[in-house]
Amino acid sequence: MDSMELYELWCKKAVDDPDLRKELLSVNGDKDAIEDRFYRDLEFGTGGLRGVIGAGSYRLNVYTIRRATQGLADYIKGSFEKGSAAIAYDSRIKSDVFAKEAASVLAANGIKVYIYKELMPTPMLSWAVRYFKCSAGIVVTASHNPAKYNGYKVYGEDGCQITLDVANTVIGKINDVPMFGEYSAKKMPFEDGVKSGMIEYIGQEVIDAYLEEVSKHGVHTELVADSGLKVVYTPLNGTGNKPVRAILKKIGISEVTVVPEQENPDGNFPTCPFPNPEIKEALAKGLELCKTVKPDLLLATDPDCDRVGIAVPDKNGDYVLFTGNEVGALLLEYICAERTANGTMPKDPIAVKTIVTTDIVRKICEEYGVKMIEVLTGFKFIGEQIGLLEKKGEENRYIFGFEESYGYLAGSYVRDKDAVVASMLICEMAAFYRTKGISLLDAREALYKKYGNYVHTQKSFQCEGASGMERMKEIMTDLRTDPPKEIGGLKVTATADYIASEKIDIATGEKTAITLPKSDVLSFFLEGGASVIIRPSGTEPKIKAYYTTIGDTREAAAALEEKLSEDFKRILGF
């Protein structure tokens, strides 16, 4: 069917949600608006769905949720003798509705469902899957995207986002499910599922067990209560408010001031249109409150509480934001140094990072005798490494993993980035250094003095709609067929293509195999240890470029990064 035929079908069949009916009527006669909603299906990627909330096959709504869940149900029934699934959801618009729709489809297919009574962080979905030994899990979230988006992420029985092979199987099952008609998704009323016992609410004991497990991964929690640490915290109108405050209280931090405008759940995110702790604008209200409270630390978690950002005061009382790479490197250094000092470092420890995450990790790992494993972008690949260790009974070797986009995990109790444990460790680290008369700014400077002045930045380029998708493909094709010989005045010394699975030395032509799974990523290695990496986002309509520079000073490295990014922007045509 073409877009207009699909639109007419939806006008007849999509009658369950009044909001969708209203939207469909509002675009009647608007060819461009109809085309945008129906020109393709919302794609189930390697981890699930993410898209704009609304009417149409290229939108997230009760019908696309039901169809995806039926495909997942068919996979579970074909792979497990007695299937079960856990479900969590965040504060976004219709998250609770979509979560209950998914539960209703699973229950109608004879699959036992465990669902949280209220919104919960994404890592607590991973915890529930593992706690109940489920076959799969679903969390309804669009993470840190703007309010118009929502999403649907699928997890495997290990509590990690599903593997590429499983994702491909689920996609095949989904493709066999029509949106409407006799063979569309099965469904039972949610309350009937609860009454029959097929849908069960997750109790407080599961939440308490999670918080207890998180608290085990502190290094110096005994010092926190007497440190006098003051914290301003914002959950950015998301799921972190209760669990983050609970874990901070549990380790002895009593002076926590929550940003009032961003304390309660609100999927419209009225004071932070981009609820992403990676960007300064999202922290504006928190930074404003810091002027009055004057805390040692500003802490911000994204709406599904799997990422965390921080700001700390300088000597003038102004608050300085740290990057995800800086926080991750500081945490790794702290964990390695203090676990080594107190005798809790495991034998043959392992840390994991993604290919776009700071290479300062290599030097930290060398310093402490830690094996570093590098994986593709996406925390599920870090979780996968923990799973491989678990199969060998060696999961205790894993000490820390992180990615540059503000995601961190210590411990193997969940298989996704966890802003609850990260918030705890960041506060503990700040408290520990405070007892030594050291600020986090001091600790950061000491890190760079010890290992070198690394500067890492990430720039994104929006590529909305059908034309945007085509533009991203063209950019990656052009870079493969005609790669730049230099960027920002620095010669390209080697390239790595993660689809072709090979790295090429430009001077010798020597090719080295890349053993990671195939992925649409290109790396350009430059003189002086600099690099540029580019990839289309797997979750947002944008293409991302990652820049690394190393300099004799922070200023020199930053100036070189600016030169690189400006020239690469020109090469991309933006």
- What's the CA dihedral at 525, 528, 529, 530 to 10 degrees? -60
Q: How far apart are CA 176 and CA 158, in angstroms?
A: 26
Mapping DSSP to helix (H, G, I), strand (E, B) and coil, where does residue 494 land?
Answer: strand
What pLDDT digit, counting tens, does each position of 211-221 carry?
999 999 999 99
Q: How far apart are CA 426 and CA 54, in angstroms?
A: 38
Q: Do 282 and 229 share a domain, yes or no?
A: yes
Catalytic residue flag (residue 143): yes
Q: Do 428 and 509 share a domain, yes or no?
A: no
Q: Do 239 and 373 share a domain, yes or no?
A: yes
CATH number at residue 514: 3.30.310
The domain in which residue 477 lies consists of 453-572
Give the per-residue pLDDT at 345. Answer: 97
* Residue 7 within a domain: yes
- Exposed/middle/buried for 297, CB within 10 Å: 0-12, 13-18, 19+? buried
* Residue 538 within a domain: yes
Average pLDDT of the chain, as a whole number: 95
Q: Do 492 and 568 share a domain, yes or no?
A: yes
For the segment 64-69, the average pLDDT, to the nearest whole number, is: 98
Determine the Cα angle at 478 with ends 477 and 484, to 5°: 130
CATH number at residue 139: 3.40.120.10
Q: Do 9 and 88 share a domain, yes or no?
A: yes
* Residue 48 within a domain: yes
Of 202, 234, 257, the one marking the end of a domain is: 202
Of 170, 202, 234, the one marking the end of a domain is: 202
Annotate 359-412 with DSSP letters as a single string. Answer: THHHHHHHHHTPEEEEE-SSHHHHHHHHHHHHHTT-GGGEEEEEETTTEEE-SS
- What's the CA dihedral at 244, 250, 251, 254 to 10 degrees? 80
Whether pLDDT at 465 is above 80:
no
Q: Do 321 and 412 share a domain, yes or no?
A: yes
What pLDDT digit, counting tens, does each position of 226-266 carry?
999 999 999 999 999 999 999 999 999 999 999 999 999 99
Q: Do 493 and 403 share a domain, yes or no?
A: no
For the segment 456-473, the average pLDDT, to the nearest whole number, is: 85
* Residue 214 within a domain: no
Whether pLDDT at 467 is above 90:
no
Give the per-residue pLDDT at 164. Answer: 83
* Residue 217 within a domain: no
Give the per-residue pLDDT at 175. Answer: 95
Contact 144, 276 (CB under 8 A): yes
Q: How far apart are CA 488 and CA 526, in angstroms?
A: 10
For the segment 565-570, the average pLDDT, to the nearest whole number, is: 96
* Residue 75 within a domain: yes
Give the per-residue pLDDT at 45. Answer: 80
463 band by pLDDT with thresholds 50, 70 and 90: confident
Q: Do 81 and 113 share a domain, yes or no?
A: yes
Whether pLDDT at 332 is above 70:
yes
Q: Do 293 and 243 share a domain, yes or no?
A: yes
Q: How far apart are CA 441 and CA 447, in angstroms?
A: 10
Look at the chain and report how many structural domains it folds into. Answer: 3
Q: Do 237 and 185 share a domain, yes or no?
A: no
For the segment 292-303, the average pLDDT, to the nearest whole number, is: 97
pLDDT > 90: percent of the chain: 93
Of 414, 433, 451, the one marking the end of a domain is: 451
Q: How far apart are CA 509 and CA 512, in angstroms?
A: 10
Q: How far apart are CA 312 and CA 21, in angstroms?
A: 48
Give the per-residue pLDDT at 539. Answer: 65
Closest CA to 140 of 71, 68, 199, 194: 68
What pLDDT digit, counting tens, does each position of 513-560 carry?
999 989 999 999 999 999 999 999 866 778 999 999 999 999 999 999
Question: What residue type is 518 in one-letter code?
Answer: K
Distant-in-sequence, close-in-space partners of 92: CB < 8 Å, separation ≥ 6? 140, 141, 142, 147, 149, 150, 267, 303
What pLDDT digit, counting tens, does each position of 78-132 carry?
999 999 999 999 999 999 999 999 999 999 999 999 999 999 999 999 999 999 9
* Residue 208 within a domain: no
* Residue 479 within a domain: yes
Distant-in-sequence, close-in-space partners of 470: CB < 8 Å, separation ≥ 6? none
Q: Do 268 and 361 share a domain, yes or no?
A: yes
- Of the candidates 143, 405, 412, 565, the residue annotated as catalytic is 143
Q: Do 159 and 20 share a domain, yes or no?
A: yes
